[in-house]
């Protein structure tokens, strides 16, 4: 083989190697499209859902008409409005402080928006979601920029991580801390302006 042939072959191998390195992995391919909810009362949309966070508070106890939620820690209560945009489905959520991830509480059963609401396009729901936290979480250095995230369920792609995710950053240390909060059950509310 001539010297030129060897150079061409080496270039082809190098190019193939470069292409392999440049190809995105599964983690990147399946990463959600994250959009940030900039502030309270600002409606923000993914392809599947819109979310408006209307309030966020801490409480030692949460109550619904049928349930009292005592805890050794503290409740994070986030009030919001959510709307499906394409098809019927619900809302899912997650919460994190730094690298520590928390699930939304299911203790209140259908009284929370992520468990008790199934929306249809442009017909919004209002309600609350709950996170039960240890008291030590409030002392975590990441507590000043904790993140609650929302995604749709049952969408065309199955919802969740394969579609858009909305994130809202909270400073837990600056939230009102109340002895008890009564949350309303999820309810349909009149349609608002649709976010494009």
Partner 1 sequence: MTWVRRHRWALAALVVLIPAALAAAMSIAWFRYVGAEAQHPVVVRSGDPGTYATDRPGSDAQELSGLTATLTLTGYNVVPWNTETGREVGLLEGTEAVSALIHVDATGLPEDVFSCQALLIAPGPEGDRVWETASGEIDYYPSGDLHGYCDLSEGTAFDWEAVFVVPEGVGDDARLIISDGSLNPRYQLQLEH
Report the candidate in 51, 60, 185, 169 with the shortest Cα–Cα distance to residue 113.
185
Going by C-alpha positions, the residue among 179, 62, 181 that lies closest to residue 132 is 62
Site mask for partner 1 (CB under 8 A), range 40-59, x = bound: -------xx-----------
- Find the binder of partner 1 among 24, 25, 141, 190 (CB under 8 A): 190
Q: Does 194 bind partner 1 (CB under 8 A)?
A: yes
In whole angstroms, the minimum distance from the beta carbon of 67 to partner 1 comes to 21
Q: Which is nearer to partner 1, 2 or 72 (CB)?
A: 2
Tokens of 76: 């994070």
- Residue 45 CB, nearest approach to partner 1 (Å): 9
Contact call for residue 185 and partner 1 (CB under 8 A): no
**Among residues 42, 118, 136, 169, which is the contact residue for partner 1, using CB under 8 A?**
118
- Contact (CB, 8 A) for 78 and 111: no
DSSP string, 18-41: HHHHHS--HHHHT--EEEE--STT
In angstroms, the CA 126 to CA 1 distance is: 73
Footprint of partner 1 on this chain (CB under 8 A)?
Answer: 2, 4-5, 8, 47-48, 85-88, 118, 120-123, 156, 188-191, 194, 196
């Amino acid at each position: 083989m001539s010297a030129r042939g060897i150079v061409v072959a080496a270039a082809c191998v190098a190019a193939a190697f470069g292409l392999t390195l440049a190809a995105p992995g599964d983690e990147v391919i399946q990463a959600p499209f994250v959009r940030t909810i900039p502030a309270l009362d600002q409606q923000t949309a993914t392809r599947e859902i819109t979310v408006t966070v209307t309030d966020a508070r801490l409480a030692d106890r949460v109550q619904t008409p049928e349930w009292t939620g005592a805890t050794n820690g503290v409740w994070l209560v986030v009030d919001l409005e959510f709307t499906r945009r394409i098809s019927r489905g619900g809302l899912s959520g997650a919460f994190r402080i730094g690298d520590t991830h928390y699930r939304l509480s299911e203790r209140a059963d259908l009284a929370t928006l992520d468990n008790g609401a199934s929306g249809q396009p442009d017909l919004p729901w209002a309600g609350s979601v709950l996170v039960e936290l240890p008291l030590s979480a409030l002392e975590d250095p990441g507590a000043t920029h904790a993140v609650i995230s929302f995604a749709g369920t049952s969408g065309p792609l199955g919802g969740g991580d394969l579609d858009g995710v909305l994130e809202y950053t909270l400073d837990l240390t600056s939230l009102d801390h109340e002895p008890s909060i009564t949350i309303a059950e999820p309810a349909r509310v009149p349609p608002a302006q649709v976010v494009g």
